[in-house]
Structure 1
Amino acid sequence: MPQPDGVLPPDLWTRPRMASALATCDMASVIEGVRTARGWSQGDLARAIDYSQSWVSRVVNGQQSLTISQVHDLARRLGVPLHLLRFGDGPPRAGSAEKGVDTTRRRDFGRAVAASALLTATAATAAAPAGARAAGHRCVNETTASALRSITGGQRRMDADSPARHLLPSAVAHVHLSEHMLAQAHGTPFHSDLSAAASEASGFAAWLHADRGDTGSARTYYRTAVARARQAGTRLLDVYMLGSLAAFETDTAQDPHLGLGLVQEAGHVLGASAHPTARAWLACVEALAHAGVGDGPAAVRAIGRAEREAARSANTDPPWPWVFAFDEAKVAGYRALVGVRLSRPHDARRAFAEACAPRAANAKQSAVLQVELASAHAEAGDVDEAFRLAREALATGMRFESERVIGRVRSFRRRYPRPRTRCAADLDEQLTSLVTGVTASG
């Protein structure tokens, strides 16, 4: 039914028809669904989005294709959560704004967004017989969520020393278990806590898929994590998962424009009075996205906000789901990454030194930072040190079978094709051994 005063019903995006439209990028149905839910006429809709009524009529009747920029604009004006929209695997290229969102992109979008992440466990459970639901409730109690979260915590600790390939099967199985328990929790006081546990499980599965280089699966699990965090009604978890998805889209999927939109959505959810750790971390993610689109001043402003938040006296005892306080050293690490993205190598090297990076507890994450530091050295002309760092990072990536690390080293080598030094030759031998299976000498 239409809502009074044009307010969108909170479950609109998880209704089967709307979820299906989102999953196939059927913007005509999405727009029409929003119009109906708000109780608008087509004229009201046209005024709300600042387009002509004839244009709106053509769109909702499937007679008008939309550009990617138009879809982003309409989503913003209509309040469609940006994290539910995705149009392709790469950032917009020159001239892409002239292309409509065609059926190929719709199929890609469908792969990226799992319908199961949008259709809530509530709907699935409501369809089950009452006896089955009652029986299910007996296997869910006040200890279920903490037990599931302890499993995720154990898996996360193992990630520091184990290849993602070894952890993925159990992590994916744990997501299925968490989803099953969540479905059983419908109508119980434990539903919110189990939604949060399922969000954490999906977020970790996303991380592992990204490490394996499977961006499509990673995106699917990240979106499930966002959907479950929103179900949990836990604001900081919602922000954490949205910010994690933003960081993934910015840095791994190489779509900083989408990353910026997700950061803005997370900032709106976070509010102005949140814990300094959350605000500092999100500002750093925003800075990376600004740097990714080449907006240096905005990136510097975001890092400045992060530094101020990190320096606040209240920045102690980080709130869950953060484990460690986001202090000045961590902000310096992000300032270094921004310097690399903006081709400011001397600023980046100073910031890396201030952050004492890369010495993260997680060897794979440390290797990622080593590649970033290698780029800063190469830009500054210190070729030998750059290739030494890249070679060390590649050795770690090979040991842990981390496509995240290996892919970054390959990208580093493509950016600096000229050096013919011994260290460059050593790195080339290592990269060749990945293809031939012949171990590099030395």
Structure 2
Amino acid sequence: MSDQDEVRIPERLLEDPEMIQACQEHDFAAIFSLVKRAGIYPAQIARLCDMTPSRVGEIMQGKRTLTQMTVVERIADGLRIPGGMLRLAGRPWESVVPSKSSSKNDSPVGAIDFGLLRPPVLDEEALALKRELEAARNADVGVAKLFAGQVDMIRQLDRRLGAEPLLPQLRSQIEQMEELLSHALAPDGREPIAAALTEAATLAGWQALDLGLYRDAWKLHEIAKSAARQSASPALLAHATAQQAYVLLDLGMPEAAVQQVQHARTIAARRLPALLDAWLHAAEAEAHAAVGDEAACRRALDAAERARPVDPADPTLPFLFLAGPHLDRWRGNCLATLGVDEALRDLTLALGAMDGFNRAEAGVRCDLAVVLSRRGEIDEAKRQALRAQELATATHSLRQRRRVERVLQAV
């Protein structure tokens, strides 16, 4: 006997005004609570709706909301809630029974058997796919813009709060976009969704790297690159590919990182926006500095300065910001890595413009501590390192904390 045969919502519950209102509002926290009150436990709800008990618990506690129609339909089927109560339409085809008065002999030779044209009776697996495809019909440019707006909000919060409180939310959003993209049928909806997914996965990859989750960081960048190819955007693909090089740098593979950034440039050929062109040169300079190639590093930094547009922001590249002080920060970091005291001027200029970029400020102060300690200014080096440690801790940046710890040990 199946769970559906053993467990059934009482009819009186379906007539309860509170249940009716909860269904109309898609308030699944209230729906599950009312079902529990009727004697159906969360574990049973989870089995019936093909969900995990923990997910059911999060929904009941208001920690998770449901927006995917495929999940809503699965709950309706599992709990036997009439589709009309949940404002569902387009339920599966019902089989059509032929008239008893007709027979094969009644049709003339060569006539079309219209029974063959009836929609097939679908099994559960086919019905599930059909529901997913129907739900993905809403994946259009408007939905992509909403996703992109959410990603941009997380990006801005990330600069101040760090990755740890934001990465779980971003992962959930990535799963939603992957689901939509894998079932989207309309060509005009696929590319915008793929572009939004690329931005989300690239940002999540950077956050994972900042938290020391190297495998996750690499995989998220692979998701970003795959989505970028579907978005038909060379710029998005070049950015995701080059940023993935930072995983290689953190793993102590600077030569591979140089090759990765250079490969990213070949992807976009000459179709690079000026802002991305400057960013790629600066990223390549950082990789050259890690190798210890000062001449190549300086050439790349000079190229970044020449390519940098007057406007440090590009609405088509919301994930990049390269105002003068930020390029100073990049130059200072490269020169500090190479052991050049000239870095002090660039880092000092950059420090005054880091308001709101807490994690970046931690990096600048860490670089300052390196340069100052090399110059013998130990007290000031300690002060900068300790302030960098505070900022790295506030933003939960394991990557920056490790850098600061190494500097403090050296000082």
TM (normalized to structure 2)?
Answer: 0.64
Query: Quick one: distance in 2 between partners of 1:203 and 1:380?
Result: 38
C-alpha contact (below 8 Å) 2:199/2:319 kept by paired residues: no
Corresponding letter in the other structure for 2:392? G
**Is contact 1:209–1:218 with CA below 8 Å preserved after alignment?**
yes
**Quick one: distance in 1 between partners of 2:163 and 2:290?**
27
Question: Pick from 382, 397, 403: which aligns with 1:387?
Answer: 382
Match of 2:332 in 1: 336
Aligned letter for 1:373? L
The offset of 1:386, in angstroms, is 1.0
Q: Confirm or deny: 8 A CA contact 1:137 1:188 kept in the other structure.
A: no
Q: CA shift at 1:331, angstroms?
A: 2.4
Deviations 1:91-142 (A, max 9, x none): xxxxxxxxxxxxxxxxxxxxxxxxxxxxxxxxxxxx9987346423433233
Q: Residues 301 and 142 (structure 1 numbering): CA distance in 2 closer, same or farther, change over 3 Å?
A: closer
Distance 1:328 1:317, change over 3 A: closer
Residue identity (%): 24
Q: Which amino acid aligns with 1:342?
A: L
Distance 2:320 2:152 in 1: 14
Match of 1:363 among 350, 358, 364: 358
Contact 1:290 1:299 in 2 (8 A): yes
CA contact (8 A) 1:280 1:309 kept: yes
Answer yes or no: is the 8 Å Cα contact 1:275–1:319 preserved in 2. no
- In structure 1, the partner of 2:304 is 306
Could you tell me how far apart the structure 2 residues matched to 1:160 and 1:407 are? 19
Matching of residue 266 in structure 1 with residue 264 in structure 2:
yes
Q: Are residues 166 and 194 of structure 1, via their aligned partners in 2, closer, same or farther at CA, if it must alter by over 3 Å?
A: same
Separation (CA, whole Å) in 1 of partners of 2:333 and 2:210 = 19
Looking at structure 2, the residues matched to 400 and 330 of structure 1 have their Cα atoms a distance apart, in angstroms, of 19
1:316 CA displacement: 6.1
Matched, 1:221 2:217: no
Give 1:402 deviation, angstroms: 2.1
SS of 2:187 mapped into structure 1: coil
- Name the SS for the 1:318 alignment partner: coil
Cα drift, residue 232 of structure 1? 0.8
Structure 1 gaps of 5+ residues are: 1-126, 420-442
Would you say 1:194 and 2:189 are equivalent positions? no
Pair 172,134 (structure 1): closer, same or farther in 2 beyond 3 Å: closer
Q: Which has the larger radius of gyration?
A: 2
Work out whether residues 280 and 307 of structure 1, in 8 Å CA contact, stay in contact via their aligned partners in 2: yes
1:138 is matched with which residue?
137
Deviations 1:359-381 (A, max 9, x none): 25221221122111211111122
Contact 1:163 1:400 in 2 (8 A): yes
Tell me the secondary structure at the aligned position of residue 161 of structure 2.
coil
C-alpha contact 1:185 1:194 (8 A) present in aligned 2: no
Q: CA offset at residue 208 of structure 1?
A: 1.9
Residues 329 and 316 (structure 1 numbering): CA distance in 2 closer, same or farther, change over 3 Å? closer
1:149 aligns with 2:137: no
Residue in structure 2 matched with residue 282 of structure 1 by the alignment: 280
Tell me, in whole angstroms, the C-alpha distance in 1 between the residues paired with 2:375 and 2:154: 39
CA distance in 1: counterparts of 2:172 and 2:320, whole angstroms:
27
Partner amino acid, structure 1, of 2:364: L
Q: Distance between the aligned counterparts of 2:169 and 2:266, measured in 1?
A: 35
Distance 2:396 2:296 in 1: 36
Q: How does 1:311-322 map to 2 (within 5 A)?
A: 318=314, 320-322=316-318
Letter of the 2:358 counterpart: A
Q: For 1:39-438, list aligned pairs within 5 A.
A: 131-132=130-131, 134-250=133-249, 252-272=250-270, 274-310=272-308, 318=314, 320-322=316-318, 326-344=322-340, 346-356=341-351, 359-414=354-409, 416=410
Contact residue 254 and residue 288 of structure 2 kept, 8 A:
yes
Letter in 1 for 2:345: R
Report deviation, 1:213. 1.4
Spell out, residue by residue over 1:224-264, the C-alpha distance to the aligned partner (whole angstroms, 9 max, x if none). Answer: 112211221111111111121123422x3332112111111
Cα distance in structure 1, aligned partners of 2:261 and 2:127: 37
C-alpha distance in structure 2 between counterparts of 1:412 and 1:165, whole Å = 23
Code of the aligned partner of 2:387: E
Give the partner amino acid of 2:371: A
Give the CA RMSD over aligned residues.
Answer: 2.4
Q: TM-score, structure 1 length as denominator?
A: 0.60
Contact 1:277–1:319 (CA under 8 A) maintained in structure 2: no
Q: How far, CA to CA, are the matches of 2:186 and 2:303 in structure 1?
A: 42
The equivalent of 1:31 in structure 2 is none
Tell me, which stretches of 5 or more residues in structure 2 are unaligned?
1-125
1:273-316 CA-partner distances (Å, limit 9, x unpaired) = 53321111100100111111111111111111111112x66x56
Letter of the structure 2 residue corresponding to residue 260 of structure 1 = V
Per-residue CA deviation, residues 42-64 of structure 1 (Å, 9 max, x unaligned), is xxxxxxxxxxxxxxxxxxxxxxx
Contact 1:357 / 1:369 at 8 angstroms: preserved in 2? Answer: no
Once the two structures are superposed, residues 173-200 of structure 1 have per-residue CA deviations (whole angstroms, 9 ceiling, x without a partner) of 1111111111121453211111111111
**Letter matched to residue 175 of structure 2:** H
Q: Against the structure 1 CA distance between its residues 330 and 202, is the aligned structure 2 distance closer, same or farther, given a 3 Å change threshold?
A: same
The 1:316–1:363 alpha-carbon spacing in structure 2 relative to 1, beyond 3 Å, is closer
Q: Relative to structure 1, is the Cα distance of residues 186 and 260 closer, same or farther in structure 2, using a 3 angstrom cutoff?
A: farther
